[in-house]
Structure 1
Amino acid sequence: MADADTARLCAEIVRSVFGPLTATVASVLLTHGRLGFPQLLRFSRLKPRTVRAAILILVQHNLLWHAQSDDEGEAFEMNIDECLMRLRYGRYVWLAERLYGKSGAEIVQLVLDHGKLRPPDIIAQASVYDPIKAPAVLSQTLHKLVEEGYLKPSTVLSHFSPRDKLIQYEAEEKRKISGFPTAREVREAKEVAVARLKREEEEAEQIGMRKAVEEELEVDDKVYFRVNCERFNIHIRNKLIETTACERFNECAGAVLRATLKATEFKQRKLSDVRSDPTSFASVAMHLPDDVDLAAGLVLQSSKKQPTMTLIKEYLGILASADNPTAAGRAASFVSLGGSRVQVEFEIIARRLQRRVLEAVARERHGDEGVRIIRLLSDTGMMDEKQISKIGMMAPKDVRPLLSAMSAESLVSLQEVPKSADRNPTRMFYLWYVDLQKASAVQVRNLYKTLYNIAARRQAEQDEPLLKAVLEKRQRTDVSQDEERLLTRNERELLAEWEKKREKLTVLEMRVEEAVFILHDLGTFKINDD
């Protein structure tokens, strides 16, 4: 069951793609949580035939989980994360085109439009305009997409909630414990359950390829494939890291970091990886473009032309903060060096990006003083009001209302430490600190609310009667072929104004979605935060 802002955003996403009836079913599930078919009928007030059709649509597009139990029978639950991923589908198609050309973009677009498809259906629909040459190219591209994990098999396991499976496996492991379980035994049971679920998922994803002749593999025509969002999210993360390095240092440092990421990109499968696999300096040099002038980004003492490998080592030393071997230097690094091997530190970079987003929110709402408090508490830890006032060089009368306002938005949190056993409020220490996990969760909900408002604003602008009439007129075949002659000047100006508004809303939506990606998708490391 989602919170109100997330539920509204997911319902709006479903409505914009599948229409109001399917959105009604999705909204009921988002609002009430898991429901059986009779309850779904009662709350939605739709006909059984309509609800069944909506369920089929949502299942086909991987937006609905099944749950089968002896007590409740079959129940349905919305897959919220998969629904929110639809905001990035345009970027996934763009990434597929950059990686595999037009044929890759066509295949990914087709699978996204249908939810899941078998290889023969993909080839048949994508080659409808060129049935002679296209099938061979598409088959080759499809093989690469499946082999490298951009398309994954849609199995029976993927339609069941992983949370249900995890609870079931934990219960099975706890039943094996004799007597009253200790905390260590409970923790071990959870670890075994998580490992079992992960192993099942990995085994299920291996069915997409089968042996054709000896060691060669081919795509299994009987398996339905869906888009692996996490594989595309890795490219979004890597581009974000590269952009951050360019902003911090220069374009040459960003190019070296991009080459380091590309050297291990084929092994990067999960966003939750703490760091990349180690790679050599020679591999980094191999993935560096030939037209990059590394010497332009450094101030060298010698006027002689330095070897490329020497310049790469210099940049990697800068990215690793080698000149500052302290905790602060490590927290500001992008990579870590070990002999002749280099690794990109995903967790360190993610925490730094999350903190930057929270500081931006604090600056927008509470000015530079709010940012000062966030940085002070993040670097120092728990502090009371007097210490914040003294070290932050702020007047006590300004600190208290500012802390109260920031606490209301969960940017800072309060910890009570009793002086005595009776826990008398007058005899307590009140310490302020930054709870990164809580602050990020609250800001993600606010960002979901912003995304819903953007979508609602776009729809309201589009439904304005005069603009709606012009848009419907432009969809006519004769008008779309000759807009300059068949549309009046006022209609063309109205369309141009609408295009500008839509572009601004799209840019804003992309910026907000990037902040969501940093706080939510890269927030998997916060569970390990001390």
Structure 2
Amino acid sequence: MFTQQVDLCRRIIREHFGPIVEKVVTALIGDGRLPLGAVIRKTGLSPQNTRQALAVLIQHSIVTHAESKEGLHIVTFYSVNLKTILRLKRVGLYMGLVDERIGKEGLTIFRTIMANGMMSIASIRSALGIRKNTKANVAASFDVAVNRMVKERFITAATPKDTVTKIDRRMQEEAKLIGELALPPTSKQLMEIRRKLADQEDEAYYSSAIVGIKRAAVDSDSTGRSSKMRVHDGPDGLPVAQGLGIYSNGQSEPEAQLDAVDEKVCFRPYYDRLDVLLRNHQIANYFIDKYNAGAGIVVKSILRITEPQTRTCRDKTSNPVSVFQIIGNIPAEAQLADSVDTGSDMFYKRLQPEDDPMSPGASAEAQRKKRSDAIFALLDVLQSDSSGIVAKVEEQAGGQYRINFERAAAVLRDRALDSLIQEKFGAMHARIVRVLRDKQKLDEKTVSQATMLPIAMCRERLHDLALSGLIDTFDIPRTADRNPSRMFYLWFVNPEKQVRSAMSYIFQGMSNLYQRIDHEMAIRSALVTKTKRKDVIADPSLLTDYERKELKSLLAIKQKLEAALIRLDGMLLITHDINPHSSDLQLLQ
């Protein structure tokens, strides 16, 4: 845990839930897991306020609990999840994803769940005012949006084990299996039990079953067709409903039964799945910046096809995708002809107007061929890229391609860290880090030669980076006594230590931005209080010209600071959250 992280989490909680909940979270962060009595003593709040604050935090999946036997009594301990708190800064990005993929109905549902915490479908319907006398098309749109959000895993079912601390849940399951043995387990048996529990977790993780979905009954009309709404996978691989008139092209859909969402199951936002979509967006942007929009379209197509099988950022690689799936998944209106040179102009063949794919009267076959050639050429460029993110795994039938998420996370992380180092220290420091990352362990003289810096300047910059934790040293003794004066010292980049140092800077920067927002609001507190009066809300002309100018200035400053917060949070996503090994690092625990 980082010192800057504690202050940042406290400010985020105060922004979203208020000062009372902030006191409870501060106590849990500072002292770890605590029972209810200890939380009451440390916060100085009344028992009722403390219970209500804990209930709100559990409802929003921020606090987990576990029961432990203390003598003759069962005591409930509460602990806070810092990662969930930090994800609250991405709510705007999450809402943008839901709006893009599901639409306005899905955005309304997601906003309701974010505001109230875990909710059942019946509670969401009641909160949105959808009742039996509501128009049929409104209710049907709501049902389709909920179904798509559950199937796309934007929201997931909240099970009782989700509110229990992960470590305690593992200990309980392990104790249960040990209790079934006649004798105390040997070390070999204990390892076997833990391996069995790990296999069960992996099986549940890779399971395609979706909790909260049940098969709907089929009601047939006189024509023998089902009168229930139906869904099938559309061109982009997403389930699309039938019979609601939501297709823009008016095409008919194949018969497929709609799976209904269980009304009694409570749902919560699935942050891990939403982080996958943000990561995919960053990968596509990387290729757009490096090559062009056509390369980004091809990478987006691969990622979109593999999204249904990717639940979290834990996966190291995506499933293989055939080139024909990629071609069929790219939108017809995508402009790919000018994205890459397919080499067709090398033959100097005079084409007829109807065969020239660039001519207005070109045939559909010529346009398809030009489009396919461009996609094949872009795939060749992507799979030969030095980053190694796109890999070709099969040569038959045009080839199959996959995305290496582990490599993508490393490339994006290094890119973000180089940007951070350059902004904090300068271009020369960033150059030194890039050289050490490419060449591995180097001595001071070699670093000076590789970076084309004088030895004195290079030594100064190396020590600046070492003091910041962004690079490390490796010593090789010349003699057996390991005398420091008779050693070789090599400089190198330790990725884990570098990420830890960068995260401390990110947390400190986000905390400073919150302090600046509070300062700007404090020096204009009188104006803010006046704008909240009922008479001013009803008649804005009561504000003077100076007050309106100050209010406009405050909103502009706050908007810029909020944008900076989002950028820093995006850097946190890249440096830690999308790493498949982030759960092993435990930097945010």
What TM-score does the superposition give when structure 1 sets the normalisation length?
0.89
Query: Hey, what does 1:384 align to over in structure 2?
Result: 443
2: CA distance between counterparts of 1:354 and 1:186? 37
Corresponding residue of 2:485 = 426
Aligned position for 2:108: 106
Residue 570 of structure 2 aligns with which residue?
514
Deviation at 1:448, TM superposition (A): 1.4
Q: Report the equivalent of 1:61.
A: 60
AA of the residue aligned to 2:494: D
**Could you report, residue by residue, the CA deviation over 1:353-398 in whole angstroms, capped at 9, with x for unpaired residues?**
1111221222223323222221222112222223323443333322
Gaps of 5+ in 1: 323-328
Aligned to 2:382: 319
Give, in angstroms, the shift of residue 528 of structure 1: 8.9
CA deviations on 1:79-102 (whole Å, 9 max, x unpaired) are 111111111112212211111111
Decide which of 402, 409, 420 is 2:461's aligned counterpart.
Answer: 402
Change (3 A) 1:427 1:456: same
Matched with 1:367 is 426
Q: Distance between the aligned counterparts of 2:448 and 2:192, measured in 1? A: 45
Identity score, percent: 26
CA distance in 2, matches of 1:526, 1:64: 21
Aligned to 1:325: none
Is the contact made by 1:173 and 1:193 (CA closer than 8 Å) also made in structure 2? no
**Separation (CA, whole Å) in 2 of partners of 1:64 and 1:365:** 35
What SS is found at the alignment partner of 1:411? coil
Q: C-alpha distance in 2, partners of 1:372/1:292?
A: 38
Amino acid at match of 1:468: S
CA distance in 2, matches of 1:49, 1:505: 36
Do the aligned residues in 2 keep the contact of 1:5 with 1:445 (CA within 8 Å)?
yes
Larger Rg: 2
Q: Cα offset for 1:352?
A: 0.8
Q: Residue 548 of structure 2 corresponds to which residue in structure 1? A: 492
The code of the aligned residue for 2:335 comes to D
Q: SS at 2:65's partner residue?
A: strand
3-state SS, counterpart of residue 580 of structure 2: helix
Is 2:178–2:185's contact at 8 Å kept on the other side of the alignment? no
Letter in 1 for 2:22: A
**Structure whose residues are more often helix by fraction:** 1
Query: SS where residue 428 of structure 2 aligns?
Result: helix
Q: Which residue of 2 aligns with 1:35?
A: 34
Tell me, in whole angstroms, the C-alpha distance in 2 between the residues paired with 1:314 and 1:480: 59
Matches within 5 A, 1:117-196: 117-127=119-129, 131-133=134-136, 134-167=138-171, 181=187, 190-196=194-200
**Kept in 2: contact 1:320–1:337 (CA 8 A):** no
Distance 1:424 1:276 in 2: 50
Q: CA deviation at 1:5?
A: 1.1
Residues 206 and 302 of structure 1, relative CA distance in 2, 3 Å threshold = closer
Secondary structure of the residue aligned to 1:149 is coil
1:469 corresponding residue in structure 2:
526
Query: Aligned letter for 2:101?
Result: L
Do 2:475 and 2:488's aligned partners in 1 also have CA atoms closer than 8 Å?
yes
| Corresponding pairs, count | 516
1:412 correspondence with 2:454: no
Unaligned runs of 5+ in 2: 219-256, 346-355, 358-368
Tell me the amino acid that sits aligned with residue 8 of structure 1: D
Task: Classify 1:207/1:364 alpha carbon distance in 2 versus 1 (closer, same or farther; 3 Å).
Answer: closer
* Residue in structure 2 matched with residue 227 of structure 1 by the alignment: 269
**Root-mean-square deviation over aligned CA pairs:** 2.9
**Is contact 2:109-2:124 (8 Å) kept?**
yes
Work out the CA distance in 2 between the residues paired with 1:501 and 1:165: 46
**Could you tell me whether the CA contact under 8 Å between 1:127 and 1:135 is conserved in 2?**
no
Question: Given the alignment of the two structures, is residue 441 of structure 1 paired with residue 500 of structure 2, yes or no?
Answer: yes
More moved, 256-265 vs 58-67: 256-265
Q: Is the contact between residue 406 and residue 579 of structure 2 (CA under 8 Å) also seen in structure 1?
A: no
Q: Is the 8 A contact 2:13 2:22 kept in 1?
A: yes
**TM-score (norm: length of structure 2):** 0.81
- 1:314 is matched by which residue type in structure 2? A
**Alignment partners' CA distance in 2, 1:227 and 1:244:** 27
* Higher RCO (CA 8 Å, separation ≥ 6 residues): 2
Deviation of 1:201 after TM superposition, in Å, equals 6.4
Matches of 1:280 and 1:486 in 2, distance apart? 65
